[in-house]
Chains A and B, each alone.
Chain A
Amino acid sequence: MRRRIIFTFISFFLLILASGCENFVEPNQLAFVIGTALDHDESGVIEVSHQIVIPSQISGSEGGGSSSGSESFIVLSAKGKDIIEANRKIQRKMSRRLMENHRILIALSEELFEKHDVSQLFDKLNRDPANNLRDITIMIKGGNARDFLMQGHPMDHLSSVAAGKEMKLSRMSKFTSKQLAIDILSDGYRPLIPVFNVEEIQVSSNKKQSIGLLSGFAVMNKDLKVSGILDDVEGSEAAWMAGKRTFQGITIPWKDGKGALSFRFSRLKRQIHSVKGEDPNHIILTVKAQAYLLENTTPLDLYEVENIVEVQKYLNEQVQKELQQTVDKVQELGPDVFGIGEHLHREFPYWWKSQKDEWDDNFKETNVTVKAKIRIRSLGTSGKRFSK
């Protein structure tokens, strides 16, 4: 009896070993895709490019990473009717299995947005369970997304890693493909996509390098076409008002034009109200933040309480003014990137039913007032301007 049990157990174990061992893939049989670019091709199809890491080059084994000359990545491209078809073609060129789970960045060219229905492309990203949805989606203005991927970066060797870090640094981690999918799928939200420009900069006395820089934000309409592009200041203001908490700070000139004050903001919040809670056409958008004074070139002595109160009041006015301008500009463009529609959806569900199909047009008519409630938390360690 016991012998039979042991025999069953061992044969079961061997069965598992024999059948299951085929499943594993060694890390050196994988090609890690770290960035993907989607471009429009003349023949009407799309071109997919993958930036693939060469692990033996990227690992900084003593001596600070790869020596100059040897690239730490390759970019492979292929054309296809959809992403999967192109992927298959790329796979044919590779000795290793493509793995897209570690992707940081998806770059789409401006041209692609114009000539293709981009929302269809995102189907693959959503459908594939292996996709981590934490990669950032950006738009490349004026140029091929593929060329952007092919560029190195003076600090990071990989343009995708550099762009990812840049986005994180400016607290743009909300602009993931997950957030994008949420924005696309909800009726009362229009996506805001960061825009990167390729610029040539002087990195050392004898070397110039072209790198990708965050240059603004694209406002998308319902069909994922670009309605307009905000510059980076306006864009981050819009992101703040959309609840994505990205605004970094502001520099305001003082009333009399003598000097300026610079602030850093933290704990960014925003709230949406309709006036008295009954008028869906009149919206009050309140933004809240805590401000830290970083630089003061005005003659004001901020050890005086009246001055602090004065500065805070003036700061609120200025921020309010600037944000109002941004709102007006966005309203001119049309799409509701602030998610006001989503708020109205919750507050006036029946009213919303009749509105949601024409929301892009109706949003233009809505009266949006911005209110700022910013409190100064810290003045730094000196009151007066630093002078003799």
Chain B
Amino acid sequence: MRFISKSIQENEKYLKEKFNRSSDIVIRTLVLKNETILLFIYLEGLTKVQSVEENILKPLIFSGLPSGIDVIESLSEMLRREWVPLTNVKSERSLEELVQHVLKGSLVILADGETSAVIAQVQDFEKRSIQESQKESTLRGTKEAFVESIRTNTSLIRRRIIHPQLKMESSTIGTYTQTEVVLAYIQGHADESVISQVRTRLEKIDADGVIDSAYIEEWIENNPLSMFSQIQNTERPDIVTACLLEGKVAIITNGTPFVLILPFTFWEGLQSADDFFERFVFITLTRIIRYLMTFISFALPAIYVALTTFHPEMVPRQLMFSIAAARENSPFPTFFEVFLMMVVFDGLQEAGVHLPNRLGPVMSIIGALIIGQAAVEAGIISTPIIIVISLTGVAGYTIARYSATLPFRIIRYLMLFITGALGFFGFAFGIIILLIHLVTLESFGTPYFSPVAPFDGKKIKNLVIRSPLWSKNRQKKESVK
């Protein structure tokens, strides 16, 4: 630890050395009345220059130091009391800390012969305004979504939960990025053991940088090797609010609109925020459809292969004839054809994500016309398989949370392989392995597959039926997620 020296030249030398080859660092010396030497250091672009000029420089230059002060040692004291018409001002003695403050956008003022510096938080930078969520849009409910600035995000939550028990613990992670991470929870509502678990895991993170909350997610997950995400992420403040009220813990990371929520279970991944904004009878229907579609999204290609090539007697007669007729001239085995189409589908999807907006229409023409139509007409791919694969693809997107859809896209392949080899026996085998994996997972003390396993009769009803908010049967804690 190096402290501020009494000689301002020495301090200036140290700082200039630290900040050499940094064009955006401004170090300015100001001599007042030929005797007091002040040193201003700030980062251009991160500091509200106008405020510095008006509130600090102008009074200093035009009226000088306030009269009635003899000892220069009390500079910081004076600053706080009279000089600087700013709210967030503090003093600091360590040079290293000073550097950190400069890097975060504060204005640092050093005076000759003074061992403490004044730090004025005049941080200000360009940021995105609050917009509607692109990824998790709902038909009803708030249009606000989180932004990159952590203080804006915490304010969005604070505005929704007006209670002193809402705590926001701050820490920094990342040797180079020094990312601010806020751990938010409602004290007395959230499980203390979960909070301390999260706290210790956050402390243990040893990374150079945290670019996004996804980095933190990967560091603190219970089972990092699993393909299922065990932490929820959202950019909707209403979801975070609801989860906090349920006693969950949120992790807000600076620089990303995605807030992490934990613990998280498999079934919560299949829910949507809309579930709580529409009438409950309708939501019950959509939930059933969503579960069905989730099953289709990973099982349908495998079921199709099993039914048509291993157990054709199980298919209704007319359907079997139609399938047989469609496949009459197919050059590849069903298994391979399905696999090929799945690869093509995933390829199209991946291309769609990376494609510049302007090339979008080109993609759809290639995808729909060439692959869809021409391949069938040429007899390379049979029509039922196109139907199966597109239905599978569409079904995958009935799941509202994007990260929850990803494991099913992998399982789709695994199920296809094992079913292609062993038929329905393999299908059953695959499902059993999947279930075994799911029940062993855990997210911060909560079994991942609960309430189905371990079984909880009261909560399991809520998986299918979204009971009305006033209902007595309702779990007190279930609400918007």
Q: List the interface of chain A (C-beta within 8 A of B).
A: 13, 16-17, 19-21, 23-28, 30, 32, 34, 53, 55-56, 58-59, 61, 99, 101-102, 104, 130, 132
Residue numbers in A under 8 Å from B328 (CB-CB) = 28, 55-56
**Nearest A residue to B309, CB-CB:** A24
Bound-state Cα–Cα, A104 to B316, Å = 12
| 12 pairs, A vs B, C-beta closer than 8 Å | A16-B422, A16-B426, A21-B335, A21-B420, A27-B312, A27-B320, A27-B324, A28-B329, A53-B321, A55-B325, A55-B328, A132-B313
Q: Does A30 contact B312, Cβ atoms closer than 8 Å? A: yes
Top 9 A-B pairs, shortest CB-CB distance: A101-B313, A59-B325, A20-B421, A24-B309, A55-B325, A27-B324, A55-B324, A56-B328, A102-B317
**Nearest A residue to B317, CB-CB:** A102
Q: Does B309 contact A25, Cβ atoms closer than 8 Å? A: yes
Bound-state Cα–Cα, A24 to B325, Å = 18
Given A21-B421, A27-B312, A28-B330, A56:B325 Cβ within 8 A: yes
- Known A-B contacts: A25-B312, A27-B312. Give 8 more (CB < 8 A): A20-B426, A23-B310, A26-B333, A28-B329, A53-B321, A58-B325, A101-B312, A101-B313
Q: Does A32 contact B325, Cβ atoms closer than 8 Å? A: no
The listed residue (A26, A30, A102, A104) touching B334 by CB distance below 8 A is A26
Q: Say if the beta carbon of B417 comes within 8 Å of chain A.
A: yes
CB distance from B340 to the nearest CB of A (A): 15
Q: Say if the beta carbon of B412 comes within 8 Å of chain A.
A: no
Interface centre among B322, B325, B418 (most CB of A within 10 A): B325
Q: Does B317 contact A16, Cβ atoms closer than 8 Å? A: no
Bound-state Cα–Cα, A132 to B312, Å = 12
Bound-state Cα–Cα, A153 to B385, Å = 32
Bound-state Cα–Cα, A32 to B322, Å = 12
Residue numbers in B under 8 Å from A104 (CB-CB) = 317
Contact flags B323-345 to A (C-beta < 8 A → 1, else 0): 11111111001110000000000
Q: Say if the beta carbon of B308 comes within 8 Å of chain A.
A: yes
Q: How many residues on chain B are close to A (CB under 8 Å)? A: 28
CB distance from A22 to the nearest CB of B (A): 10
Q: Does A27 contact B308, Cβ atoms closer than 8 Å? A: yes
The prevalent SS among residues of A at the interface is: mixed
Residue numbers in B under 8 Å from A132 (CB-CB) = 313
Interface centre among B309, B317, B322, B326 (most CB of A within 10 A): B317
Q: Does B312 contact A24, Cβ atoms closer than 8 Å? A: no
Q: Does B421 contact A16, Cβ atoms closer than 8 Å? A: yes
CB distance from B411 to the nearest CB of A (A): 15
Residue numbers in A under 8 Å from B396 (CB-CB) = none
Interface centre among A17, A28, A32, A61 (most CB of B within 10 A): A28
Residue numbers in B under 8 Å from A101 (CB-CB) = 312-313
Bound-state Cα–Cα, A24 to B418, Å = 13
Q: Does A28 contact B426, Cβ atoms closer than 8 Å? A: no
Residue numbers in A under 8 Å from B317 (CB-CB) = 34, 102, 104
The prevalent SS among residues of B at the interface is: helix
Residue numbers in A under 8 Å from B310 (CB-CB) = 23-25
Bound-state Cα–Cα, A311 to B328, Å = 60
The listed residue (B312, B326, B327, B418) touching A99 by CB distance below 8 A is B312
CB distance from B135 to the nearest CB of A (A): 34
Contact flags B406-436 to A (C-beta < 8 A → 1, else 0): 0000000000011011110010000000000
The listed residue (A13, A17, A25, A58) touching B321 by CB distance below 8 A is A58
The listed residue (A13, A16, A19, A28) touching B324 by CB distance below 8 A is A28
Given A20-B422, A20-B426, A59-B321, A27:B327 Cβ within 8 A: yes
CB distance from B243 to the nearest CB of A (A): 35
Q: List the interface of chain B (C-beta within 8 A of A).
A: 305, 308-310, 312-313, 317, 320-330, 333-335, 417-418, 420-423, 426
**Nearest A residue to B414, CB-CB:** A13
Bound-state Cα–Cα, A283 to B321, Å = 49
Given A25-B309, A27-B312, A102-B320, A16:B418 Cβ within 8 A: yes
Bound-state Cα–Cα, A104 to B426, Å = 30
**Nearest B residue to A22, CB-CB:** B421
Bound-state Cα–Cα, A309 to B327, Å = 62
Bound-state Cα–Cα, A27 to B334, Å = 9
Bound-state Cα–Cα, A27 to B423, Å = 14
Bound-state Cα–Cα, A28 to B322, Å = 11
**Nearest A residue to B305, CB-CB:** A24
Q: Does A17 contact B421, Cβ atoms closer than 8 Å? A: yes
CB distance from A96 to the nearest CB of B (A): 10
Bound-state Cα–Cα, A196 to B326, Å = 34
**Nearest B residue to A30, CB-CB:** B312
Residue numbers in B under 8 Å from A102 (CB-CB) = 312-313, 317, 320
Given A17-B421, A32-B321, A58-B325, A27:B309 Cβ within 8 A: yes
Bound-state Cα–Cα, A27 to B333, Å = 10
Q: Does A99 contact B313, Cβ atoms closer than 8 Å? A: yes
Residue numbers in B under 8 Å from A23 (CB-CB) = 310, 422-423
Bound-state Cα–Cα, A99 to B311, Å = 11
Residue numbers in B under 8 Å from A30 (CB-CB) = 312, 324
The listed residue (A16, A17, A19, A27) touching B323 by CB distance below 8 A is A27
CB distance from A84 to the nearest CB of B (A): 18
Q: Does A32 contact B326, Cβ atoms closer than 8 Å? A: no
Residue numbers in B under 8 Å from A99 (CB-CB) = 312-313
Residue numbers in B under 8 Å from A59 (CB-CB) = 321-322, 325-326
Q: Does B420 contact A24, Cβ atoms closer than 8 Å? A: yes
Bound-state Cα–Cα, A129 to B198, Å = 58
Bound-state Cα–Cα, A17 to B309, Å = 15
Q: Does B423 contact A32, Cβ atoms closer than 8 Å? A: no
Q: Does A26 contact B309, Cβ atoms closer than 8 Å? A: yes
Residue numbers in A under 8 Å from B426 (CB-CB) = 16, 20
CB distance from B380 to the nearest CB of A (A): 15
CB distance from B315 to the nearest CB of A (A): 9
CB distance from A165 to the nearest CB of B (A): 12
Residue numbers in A under 8 Å from B305 (CB-CB) = 24
Residue numbers in B under 8 Å from A16 (CB-CB) = 418, 421-422, 426
Q: Does B321 contact A24, Cβ atoms closer than 8 Å? A: no
Given A16-B421, A16-B422, A24:B335 Cβ within 8 A: yes
CB distance from A134 to the nearest CB of B (A): 10
CB distance from A34 to the nearest CB of B (A): 8
Bound-state Cα–Cα, A290 to B323, Å = 42
Bound-state Cα–Cα, A23 to B418, Å = 13
CB distance from B20 to the nearest CB of A (A): 46
Residue numbers in A under 8 Å from B330 (CB-CB) = 26, 28
Bound-state Cα–Cα, A107 to B221, Å = 66
**Nearest B residue to A25, CB-CB:** B309
Residue numbers in A under 8 Å from B326 (CB-CB) = 59
Residue numbers in B under 8 Å from A32 (CB-CB) = 320-321, 324
Q: Does A130 contact B422, Cβ atoms closer than 8 Å? A: no
Q: Does B327 contact A28, Cβ atoms closer than 8 Å? A: yes
Bound-state Cα–Cα, A28 to B333, Å = 10
**Nearest A residue to B421, CB-CB:** A20
Bound-state Cα–Cα, A101 to B326, Å = 20
Given A56-B325, A59-B321, A130:B421 Cβ within 8 A: no
Bound-state Cα–Cα, A26 to B333, Å = 7
Bound-state Cα–Cα, A13 to B333, Å = 20
CB distance from A310 to the nearest CB of B (A): 48
Bound-state Cα–Cα, A130 to B310, Å = 13
CB distance from A27 to the nearest CB of B (A): 4
